[in-house]
Amino acid sequence: MTMPLMYREALQAPKRMRIQLNELATPLERLVKHLHQHPPKLVVVCGRGSSDHAGVYLRYLIELGLGIPTTSATPSILSIYGTETNLSDSLVILISQSGQSPDLVNYAQMAKRRGAFTLGLINSYENAPLSAHCDVVLPLHAGIEQSVAATKSYVCTLMASLQLVAAWSGNEALQAALQKLPDDVAKVSSLDWSMAMNKLVDTRRMLVLGRGPGRGIANESALKFKETCSLHAEAFSSAEVLHGPLAMIGSGFPVLVFDQGDAASMSIRESVSRLTKAGADVLFAGANAPQGTTGLPVLEGLHPWCALVTQIQSAYLMTARLSLQRGYNPDAPQFIAKVTKTL
């Protein structure tokens, strides 16, 4: 069976990550020098869809790795309500696969007017309207992505985020981990997540959970289930799921959990225990799956932030196959275009 573009493009991610490692070394050195000379008091991350989910991951990395308050932008404050915010002494990071959405372009223009330094993480950066309004652009180097469902561009955004924080913070352990991360992601194709696919083939609704930087991974996985499988998947923090959503869990209710194996792991496992007692059928992507769950194979011994990159790669490959089993075309979801322009 011929695999869809979504699957085949996901498999291209390791090659594109290696290219990015080489290409971003010099521009990152210049950018980090500027950030050390002009340290921001606040970081604002702006993106839509998968780019927003990568932004959630990056927010956690910056706060954990650098201790700088980081928040998500609210573009509609400007584009719909016409209000500008004070962004002096801040770094605004704009994330986009296409660099074309008008709300991101307008936000970048406003950010510069209001005193921010603007950084673009953009894939199709050449001649992109957004690039013109960024003080620095770090190209994602994901290459052309034809499937509507983003895969390698998202993975490359995570890779660029990791490179930025590793260089900015001077984290040598993370820098060393990144040198082997493309090879780690390449190994993922040998991991068998068919147990998850078999359990989800007839599912109508599910939850996807993560905590810390894993929340951005959970958000992205849930989006792909909705986008390519018409499966109503909702993402929550593994802590937030106990504040209300737990009440809807019944026998056999499917829940996919990402656990990167860091300080959040104990909390994640405590939530999993509550869910399994409520009857949930938990698919656990992490080392040493708790009793009562279905463990999905993962690469072990990785830096936790890198582990999440390999886990979303596994989720992409499984979801592309699940989409076909459910009778859909993951490359062309109905009503959705590759480039979405919003205000």
pLDDT at position 342, please? 61
Sorting pLDDT into bands at 50, 70 and 90, what band is 264? very high
pLDDT digits (tens, 9 = 90+) for 11-68: 999 999 999 999 999 999 999 999 999 999 999 999 999 999 999 999 999 999 999 9
pLDDT at position 58, please? 98
> Would you mind telling me the total number of residues written for the chain in this entry?
343
Distance between CA atoms of residues 253 and 142, nearest Å: 36
Written as six digits, the tokens of 203 are 């599912």
Sorting pLDDT into bands at 50, 70 and 90, what band is 320? very high
Mean pLDDT, the chain, integer: 94
- pTM for this predicted structure: 0.95
Evaluate whether 5-179 and 191-325 have a shared fold.
Answer: yes
pLDDT digits (tens, 9 = 90+) for 170-186: 999 999 999 999 999 99
Over range 132-139, report the average pLDDT. Answer: 96
Sorting pLDDT into bands at 50, 70 and 90, what band is 268? very high
Sorting pLDDT into bands at 50, 70 and 90, what band is 242? confident
SS3 for 52?
Answer: helix
Over range 192-203, report the average pLDDT. Answer: 96
**Quick check: 339 pLDDT over 70?**
no
**Quick check: 340 pLDDT over 60?**
no
pLDDT digits (tens, 9 = 90+) for 59-85: 999 999 999 999 999 988 898 899 999
**Quick check: 343 pLDDT over 70?**
no
Q: What CATH number does the domain located at 5-179 have?
A: 3.40.50.10490
Written as six digits, the tokens of 249 are 């869990």
∠ CA 319-57-73 to the nearest 5 degrees?
115
Fold that domain 191-325 belongs to in CATH: Rossmann fold (3.40.50)
Over range 129-142, report the average pLDDT. Answer: 96
The CB-side HSE value for 4 (13 A sphere, CA atoms) comes to: 25
pLDDT at position 133, please? 95
Sorting pLDDT into bands at 50, 70 and 90, what band is 199? very high
The residue type at 188: V
DSSP state of 3: P
CA 96 to chain centroid: 12
pLDDT at position 160, please? 98
- Indicate the domain borders of the chain: 5-179, 191-325
Distance between CA atoms of residues 28 and 168, nearest Å: 8
pLDDT at position 335, please? 61
Over range 147-167, report the average pLDDT. Answer: 96
pLDDT at position 1, please? 63
Sorting pLDDT into bands at 50, 70 and 90, what band is 282? very high
